[in-house]
A and B are shown apart, each in its own frame.
Chain A
Amino acid sequence: MWELIRANKRKSLFLFFVMGICLLVLGFFIGGAYAGDDGGFIGLFVAFGIWILMSMISYFRGDSIILMMSRAKKVSYNVHPQLFNVVEEMKLAANLPVMPDIYIIPEEAPNAFAVGKKPEYCAIAVTAGLLERLNRDELQGVIAHEMSHILNRDVLFMTFSGVLLGSIVFLSHVFLRSMWFSGGGSRFRSKSSKGGGQLQLILIVVALIMAILAPLMARLLYLAISRKREYLADASAVRLTRYPEGLACALEKISLNNYEMKTANKATAALYIANPLKPKGMKLSNLTSTHPPMDERIRILRNISHGANFIDYQNAFTSIKGKQNIIPSSGIRERKKINIRTSTAASTQTKSTKKSTRDLGDLMRAVNKYMFLSCACGLKMKLPPNFKKDKISCPRCGRENHVPIAELAAMSGMIAIDEKNDSIQNNEQVKQDSFVYNRTGKGWETFSCRCGSPKQLSPAFNKASFVCNKCGRKIEIKGP
């Protein structure tokens, strides 16, 4: 496996350097076009500076910027136990040193991505729509795909290539704009008449050609890298799950979706398991997409027979796409037979569309920091985070209900209590009178502990009690 990762890294590094040279050469000629031969080196230097600066930003802040842009929120176990279990399972299968942080994106479009400079520090983000639509086997396929991106160091690499591409596009754009506004280079011509004009004219022409070609070339390289990595992650996912049909079904469901993601953009699109931006035009998008066509990925997965090792994926790939190496040779050499497993029975669960729509809505609201109050009369009130009154009189029965907004504001990032972490940490605190909360339903519920600290129960919370992490009180939960 290590050899495979290294081979993958080598190949990508090569393409990465070709892109880097593209940027530097572009910088050199643009500089030359402006100020003759001295300018070439200034241009080179400026291009290099932009590259380093942007790479630094994306290395040190990339993960958080991407997560923030996608509006993903970190969640605890109780928000979606199945998701956590699947991630843990795949973490063990992939031999990942730590459990990735888990984020949910409040969007209806089913999609997912992973970030992380290295396997020791990484996160997986999935949309609420994905969780609501996929069964366990399908979710496992998607998580395994993301886990593979982490293992293969794809995230760091894709971010860096994206930044490089961005720098090239930016430089050529600025140059072409300035040429346009200076009246097609008249300013250069007057300077060049003073002497050495011939050389400068050539530099301008070369710079123009470069400014047009470099972004195209860089983009093609970038696409080649990102597509290959998608196939490789699919192949690794099959190996980890031993169940190609799971991922195939998941991709099928994802491709049937009609929602466009509001929080994705061109810069982050390559990170997602499926292109989050709906192509505006026609089939042309197949050429310029960061992702291989979905139907092809699905067909390859469904063509896998015999086993779940890399060689089996490569064979399926060859039978559909022709001779082309997707898996580095070290992966192919690994001949250990991995049998395909059968589907888990738990996968077949059906929910009514009405219930499913409501569950999806509540999950998105929970991620968006809504409070879920239940009045004693049975009416449920879901309050958005910009609700600013600390009392609400129930529209049904008129009872006054306390809204823990002040307490909530004091806490950050609360979505559902996590009895795994919350209760253990503060076990030594003084035990006080216990406190009983009567649950009114099976959904999300927000209430305050007697100490004022707000608590949120997710539909999955099924413990009889937990300990308040503020005051150490035992809170008993009585079910409906």
Chain B
Amino acid sequence: MDCPVCKNEPMIVLELNEVEIDYCLSCKGIWLDAGELELLLGSSTETVEFLNSFTSDDITKEKTHKCPICNKKMEKILVIGNRKVRIDKCKYNHGIWFDSGELEDILGMRKLDNKNKVLTLLNDMLGKKIKE
């Protein structure tokens, strides 16, 4: 699977403490297959509510990317929490693309993440200092 942003750059899979992500070494973006975000967030009513709050954003001028699985154009999704994050989601539900830092932003939003365990792990995985 190649990075949807850097095109011919193959993505690698990182695994730490049973958490797995597809990662691009050159742009540091993250790809999550369908269902993996749910797996990361844990199944709770809050998670479901949060995922339902995703709204498609067709006015943005941000460059669109192609889904690395089906190669069709992905749609822009606006996630609004304590800040706005715009992510790319495959219309055929193959997964979601996060530019560098976007997944961390989303995990940090609204205490979704149970005591930020996943966020801590993700930061650890990518060698970032944990900001309190």
- Interface of A toward B, CB cutoff 8 Å: 354-355, 358, 361, 365, 370, 378-384, 386-388, 392, 394-398, 443
Contacts and interface: CB of A to CB of B under 8 A. Distances in A.
Contacts of A382: 12-15
A392 B39 CA distance: 28
Interface string B1-33: 110000000111111101010010100100000
A395 B18 contact: no
A397 B12 contact: no
B46 interface: no
Contacts of B13: 365, 370, 380-382
29 contacts: A354-B39, A358-B15, A358-B20, A365-B13, A370-B13, A379-B14, A379-B16, A380-B13, A380-B14, A380-B16, A381-B14, A381-B15, A382-B12, A382-B13, A384-B10, A384-B11, A384-B12, A388-B10, A392-B12, A394-B127, A395-B14, A395-B23, A395-B25, A395-B125, A395-B126, A396-B16, A396-B127, A397-B127, A443-B15
A440 B98 CA distance: 29
A444 to B, nearest CB: 10
A378 B127 CA distance: 12
Interface residues of B, number: 19
Interface in B25-79: 25, 28, 39
A32 B14 CA distance: 66
Q: Across chains A and B, which 10 residue pairs bring their CB atoms closest together, nearest first?
A: A382-B13, A380-B15, A396-B127, A386-B10, A384-B10, A387-B10, A383-B12, A395-B126, A379-B16, A381-B12
Contacts, number: 56
B15 A379 contact: yes
A354 B25 contact: no
A207 B100 CA distance: 66
Nearest to A365: B13
Contacts of A383: 10, 12
Nearest to A380: B15
Contacts of B12: 381-384, 387, 392
A241 B30 CA distance: 47
Contacts of B1: 384
A254 B61 CA distance: 45
Nearest to A389: B25
Nearest to B2: A386
A370 B18 CA distance: 18
Nearest to B11: A384
B14 A378 contact: no
Contacts of B125: 379, 395-396
